Structure 1
Amino acid sequence: MTALLRYQSGLLFRSQRWLAPLLLYAVFIGVGVQAAEPVLDALGFTAAALLPVTAWTVRICLTQEPPAARNVVAAAAGRNRAHLAAFLAGTAWPLLPGTVAVLLVTLVSDRRGIPVPAAAVTGLLAALACALTGAAVGALASRPFLKASGWSLSALVLGSLLAFVVTGSPAKHAMTALTAGARTATADPPWPAFAGALLLAAAAATLACRATARLE
């Protein structure tokens, strides 16, 4: 699996397709987060912006291989493992700028008596919840379920929006926890949202890997 992850990461960075979601995230943070803003409000926006970015990156990794190369890798390592490696690479890389953004926002925002470690842990868990939810959206809005680019991108945008409003969504739960904490100036780490997002991402990855073995 390590070799597959290196292969998928190499494809991603050599193609430079990672630049678009990274720039989108930078624009989101630059426009939506202001210095001296209440820390939990700023962390909520920072985490929320990671959802569509992760969904987009996962879709890039799942669709970046030419069909011939994909067939060669599938023959060598198994189609399930190859698809899982692409999913994991697309999920992991957005977490790096997300983690940096959470730490920087924690330092420059108005913490209003909230300790730095508590704010940072709360922000990181919210970011993980949103990123993992976005990864699930990206997995379900890409091959093998949707192969046409137009339908895939439309599903990606719609799924990202629904993730913030559908009852039971881990991302919505994380945002609700941060909003409630901002009102009371209390950092309450959203562990349930993180656990739910982890289960959701695992279920989506399992479904996608099984489907790709049957449909491709």
Structure 2
Amino acid sequence: MTALLRYQTGLLLRSQRWLAPMLLYAAVLGVGVTMGEPVLGALGVTAAALLPVTAWSVRICLTHEPPAARSVVAAAAGRGRAHLAALLTGTGLSALVGVVAVLVVTAFSDRRGVTALAASTTGLLAALACALTGAAVGALASRPFVPAPGWSLAALVLGSLLALVTTGSPAKHAVTALITGARTLTATPPWLACAAAVVLAAAVAFCACRASARLE
């Protein structure tokens, strides 16, 4: 698996397709987060914006490999393992960027009434919940479930929106906890939402890898 992750990471970085979702994330934060605003509200924007960015990154990793190279990798390591490596690469890149964003936003926002440790912990858990939920959306909106590029993009946008507004979504629960905390000046780490996002992402990854091995 280590070799597959290195291969997928190198492929992603050389393709430079990661620039588009990362620039989108930077633009959203630049517009939606103001230096000196209450930290929990700023972290809510930071976490919410990470969901569609992760979904997009995962879709890129699942579709950027040439068919011939995909067949060679699948023959050597198995389609399920190759699919999982692509999922982990897209998720890991976005999660890493999200961690950096949370720490920067925490450092430059107004932390009155909230300690830096409490704010960063809450923000990191919310960002992880949103990243994992976004990874699930990206996996469901890509091959082998939605192989057509046009329908895949439409499913990605719609799925990201629903994941942010649907009751019961781990991402919505995590972002709501931050928004509520910004009003009450209380940092409540969304442990339950994060755990639910882990279960959701693991279940979707398992189904996607199984489907890839059978359908492709």
Both proteins in one fold, TM over 0.5? yes
Given the two structures, how large is their TM-score scaled by the length of structure 2?
0.99
Instruction: Map Cα deviations across residues 98-129 of structure 1 (whole Å, 9 max, x no partner).
Output: 11110111011111121101100000000000
* Counterpart check, 1:161 vs 2:149: no
1:215 partner letter = L
Distance 2:134 2:164 in 1: 10
Number of matched pairs: 216
Alignment of 1:30-109 (within 5 A): 30-109=30-109
Q: What is the aligned partner in structure 1 of residue 2 from structure 2?
A: 2
Distance 1:139 1:173 in 2: 21
Secondary structure of 1:134's aligned partner: helix
Given the two structures, how large is their TM-score scaled by the length of structure 1?
0.99
Runs of 4+ in 1 over 4 A off after TM superposition: none
Q: Which runs of 5+ in 1 are unaligned?
A: none
2:98 partner letter = G
Q: CA shift at 1:179, angstroms?
A: 1.5
RMSD between aligned alpha carbons? 0.6
1:15 partner letter = S
Q: CA shift at 1:61, angstroms?
A: 0.3
Secondary structure of 1:187's aligned partner: coil
Q: What is the aligned partner in structure 1 of residue 150 from structure 2?
A: 150
Q: Identity over aligned residues, as a percent?
A: 76
Distance 1:68 1:4 in 2: 16
Q: What is the aligned partner in structure 2 of residue 15 from structure 1?
A: 15
Q: CA shift at 1:190, angstroms?
A: 0.4
Distance 1:188 1:134 in 2: 22
Distance 2:205 2:22 in 1: 23
Secondary structure of 1:205's aligned partner: helix
1:174 partner letter = A
Distance 2:33 2:180 in 1: 18
Q: Which runs of 5+ in 2 are unaligned?
A: none
Q: What is the aligned partner in structure 2 of residue 182 from structure 1?
A: 182
Distance 1:22 1:192 in 2: 27
Distance 1:156 1:30 in 2: 23
